[in-house]
Amino acid sequence: MKLRIPIIASAILLTGILSGFQKNQLPRFLKGNMHTHSFWSDGNTYPEEVARWYRDHGYQFLAITDHNLLQKGIRYRVSGKDSVRLKELSELRTEFDKTGEFMLLQSEEITDGAEKKPVHLNGFNLGTVVNPVRAATVKETLDTDVINIREALAGTPNPEWISVNHPNFGWGLTANDLAQCGARFFEVFNGHPSVRNYGDSAHPGTETMWDEANKWRVDRNEDMLLGTATDDAHQYDKYSVGNANPGRGWVMVRAEALTPEALYQSMMKGDFYATTGVELIDFSKHKNTLTIKIKAVKGVQYKTEFIGWVHGQDHPDILATVEGPKAVYKASGNELFVRARITSDKSKANAYVNGDFEMAWIQPVTLR
């Protein structure tokens, strides 16, 4: 009997250590791309080549978002005399999905438009296809697409997993459109060379549109719009600036498991960041303080800008700039919301445009 007590005690101790160890392992940041194309629509390779590229480049999840269809049913790639049946997502999952390591999400880019402008949205982890509506106006088209995707996702564990894509593509959408459409996510960065992330002399860039949309939402007590970075990859052979190649932008999601449910829950909470290369050790909000710790690469310099909207202002401001691998912002209480943008001095390889540096964007929060 005397011997048993220490055995039980050490078993309890061991269990404690193990669960503590597992807690230290999780949550971790899971790397994902949420916008890409294949031969199922206008991508230039087979879907298994797309999945392989992302799996082999350290991603944990991938949404293949071909235009106006799900990868279901019989479809052929015809090239000259050759005709090859394309693999369905269910077949790709058998080949590529591995518990805790890699996961494909059945998704679609609802490719719509009105008033000669493109209106594109992604629905993630969809069970049924969502058709474009082509309504009379951009606003009506966008709003109806959001409603239709929501309807298709109703009853799933991810009812609001909807993104508005590349708002400046074809100068299709305005900050008001983003504000009022009801979608939770949009692409603050898209790697396709035609999408005009940074705006021009006559149009605001996606970051300014993001802040304006969130001013509108915060004023109405609505959930803020959250920003992703994606590839929108179409070309998997020739890698150069000007081609829509993979590897340009992605999200890092702090999820407890590699499941659609866990990713969705974390993303809805804003517990993720968008990046073109800068990675983080941690970011956290505690009362009125936002703290960011960058996974610094030797020889690379980092600048964190805290961007927010101060009560009574009619524009967003850079509220503070911090150099180095750790950045802390203490709110004064006058900010409606604050987000962070990190810019490194490391040039982005095969960039969206020449001159880009590796960056990251942290989601807007209220600090009260």
Q: Contact positions toward Zn ion, by CB under 5 A?
A: 109, 120, 165, 232
CB of 244 to Zn ion, least distance (A): 8
* Span between the terminal Cα atoms of the chain, in Å: 57
| CB 274 to Zn ion: min, Å | 16
Q: Which is nearer to Zn ion, 109 or 143 (CB)?
A: 109
CA 334 to chain centre: 29
Residue closer to Zn ion by CB (options 109, 177) is 109
Residue 230 or residue 304: which is nearer to Zn ion going by CB?
230
Dihedral of CA 175/160/97/282: which sign? Answer: positive
Give backbone dihedrals phi and psi of 176, rounded to 5 degrees, phi first.
Answer: -60, -40
Q: How near is the Cβ of 192 to Zn ion at its closest, in Å?
A: 7
Quick one: how far is CA 147 from the chain centroid? Answer: 20
Q: In whole angstroms, how close is the CB of 296 to Zn ion at the nearest point?
A: 33
92 close to 48: Cβ distance less than 8 angstroms: yes
Nearest distance from C-beta of residue 109 to Zn ion, angstroms:
5
Whichever of 88 and 112 has its CB closer to Zn ion, that residue is 112
Residue with tokens 């069970």: 127
* Least distance in angstroms from the C-beta of 176 to Zn ion: 20
3-class DSSP assignment, residue 339: strand
Residue in the block written with tokens 């230039």:
44
Which residues fall within 8 angstroms of residue 193, CB to CB, at 6 or more apart?
241, 242, 243, 244, 352, 353
**Nearer to Zn ion among residue 64 and residue 258 (C-beta):** 64
- Nearest residue to Zn ion by CB is 120
Cα separation, 25 vs 111, in Å, equals 39
Compute the distance between CA of residue 16 and CA of residue 57 in angstroms, rounded to an integer: 35
Shortest distance, CB of residue 34 to Zn ion, whole angstroms?
10
Question: Judged by CB, which is closer to Zn ion: 120, or 215?
Answer: 120
Inter-residue contact 285 to 328 (CB < 8 Å): no
Closer to Zn ion by Cβ: residue 165 or 276: 165
